[in-house]
Amino acid sequence: MSPRRQKRSGFTLIELLVVIAIIAILIGLLLPAVQKVREAAARTQNANNLSQLAKAMHNHASQFNGKLPYNYKTIAGSTRNFLYQLLPFVEQDNVYNSGTTTAVIPPYVSPQDFTTSSSTAITNYVGNSTLFTNSSAQLPRAFGTNGTSNTVVFANRYGTCGTATMLWADTTNGYVLYTAPAAQPTTTTNLINLPQYNVQATACVTTSVQAFGPTAMVTMGDGAVRSVSPSVQQYTWSLVNYPTNSSVIPSDWLDG
């Protein structure tokens, strides 16, 4: 009588390949969902940073008799830009008091930017040049009849723009500002560059703002974060960036 064969346990090669294929399919289905969650979280954080900057601006004004931070103010013998002056109001007192300009400031960095290492002291947030280069600008009179709710104050920019690195403490190149109109825009004059959409870092323009997604995100003077429609007209975009604008602003500049 021959000995009974022992029943073999374990997977056959075909069974193992089937299991691997099923796992690969599940991973393939899961990855897009994970990516969407990450993108949504990054967009939310970017919006929070923009909102925080507006609150910092208002808190600065409250402490200094209504004055907005001036981009070329001398502090302890050194020229400091408006982002440096906002440090105490974004919970960065230690950096402000130390005088360092090389620290990475989390509220100044957007997780949506892919152009620069997170270990570099960049800013992804730039300010309205007309507001922050005016040493006498005050709230609320720095804003015209349309008020703070109709004026863009902060916007996004790539950390690496063309060949330039957008350092948050910059005072020599003006990279912490975007170019806003210097006078009342008309349909043909005092117009500024539209936001750049879907642009490579090498084609980034330092006088413009950039969109990190389907729409450009900006902060208004009242602290509200808005999404700019990609179809915005240059005249309309110029109006919402001119603080003392007195013209009626078309509503089609907003996305949604």
Q: 104-155, pLDDT tens digit by residue?
A: 999 999 999 988 777 789 999 999 999 999 988 988 888 888 889 999 999 9
Is 246 a domain residue? yes
Residue 7 maps to a domain:
no
Q: How confident is the model at residue 54 (pLDDT cuts 50, 70, 90)?
A: very high
Asked if the structure places residue 10 within a domain, the reply is no
Model confidence band, residue 13 (pLDDT cutoffs 50, 70, 90):
confident
- 13-27, 69-83, 193-207: the lowest-pLDDT one: 13-27
Domain span including residue 72: 16-253
109: left (phi over 0), alpha (psi -120 to 50) or beta: beta
pLDDT above 70: residue 4: no
| Model pLDDT, residue 122 | 94
For residue 190, how many other CB atoms are within 10 A of its CB? 15
Q: Is residue 9 part of a domain?
A: no
Q: Does 174 reside within a domain? A: yes
- Euclidean distance between CA atoms 111 and 126, whole angstroms: 15
Is residue 223 a part of any domain in this protein? yes
Counted domains in the chain: 1
